[in-house]
Amino acid sequence: MAIPSVDLAEFLSGDPLRKAAFVQQLGNAYEEVGFVAVKNHGVSYELIADLYKYVQEFFSLPSEQKKLYEIPELAGQRGYTSFGKEHAKGSDAPDLKEFFQYGQIPRDNYKEEDYPENVEVKEIASFNKIFEEAYRAFEKSGTSLLQAIALYLGLDEYYFDNYVYNGNSILRSIHYPPITSEPKSAIRAEQHEDINLITLLVGASADGLQILTKQNEWVGVTSLPEQIVVNVGDMLQRLTNNKLRSTTHRVVNPARELWHTSRFSIPFFLHPKSSMSLQCLQSCVDEQHPKGYADATAGEYLDERLREIGLKK
């Protein structure tokens, strides 16, 4: 399935008509599909290539070295999380993956939240430097997309800016190792919805991502190499009282002849500050669409979800 494609350069063009057309196109795609492919997103090809190179180097390290970067009290929010630790909400089956997470470095003496330090990988020169560069590039691109979403929702264009600046966003690198024995399931990562506002996914190294359509059918997602796939997360769904739906997706195993191969994936989960209210927007609540969610802050909701997926006790 070729998901709807949008060109972020249209939004940033300075031309009011092109900008308005982009806003409508993006909003329609999110209401109808929940995923879009974005070109001219501002994250350079060279940066993405370097990021994948360092990620593959890290996951090639021996297990005992990687486990030095696993800090259980950080609930998977920084550093390494070993194979099989995370599972989808409502599923007991562990996802067949290991991952490394890099988070926010507060700017401008931000003191509202005490973010943990990022875990520094000493074996690979420039590993943390590349992650910081990529984090800022994704954050910038995601902020522009949220500006367009704000306009689509009838909000001030910069409604989300202050919430996501110094927000609790996460850059996650994922490794699905080769399959070495008959798997119990055809699924590498069980069906789930993302927790955050929006997720930016830079091209995975192999096929496998599927989304659940409104017709309740699983379809594979394809995008071009120069595109980033961006989907709605649960926080945005709650805020908009289901006007913008968080799309259910999963990762399936490759064909048997490709079991010997690894799959790498690098999503950027765009989170707001924990203090942001996810109370349903009044403009999204009416007689036909009664308020569907209890009031909560982003921090409260994140904490609840981390417990549900097994990363937090």
Question: What is the distance between the alpha carbons of residues 312 and 212, in angstroms, rounded to a whole number?
Answer: 27
Nearest CA-CA partner of 90 in 195, 163, 219, 190: 190
> Which tens digits make up the pLDDT trace of 22-63?
999 999 999 888 889 999 999 999 999 999 999 999 999 999
Query: Side-chain half-sphere of 237: how many Cα atoms within 13 Å?
Result: 18
Q: Which sequence spans correspond to the domains of the chain? A: 5-308
Question: What is the distance between the alpha carbons of residues 94 and 309, in angstroms, rounded to a whole number?
Answer: 9
Question: What is the distance between the alpha carbons of residues 137 and 132, in angstroms, rounded to a whole number?
Answer: 9
- Which residues of the chain have a pLDDT value below 70? 1-2, 85-95, 181-189, 203-206, 223, 309-313
Could you tell me which CATH number the domain at 5-308 has? 2.60.120.330
> Which tens digits make up the pLDDT trace of 210-251?
888 878 888 888 767 788 999 999 999 999 999 998 889 888
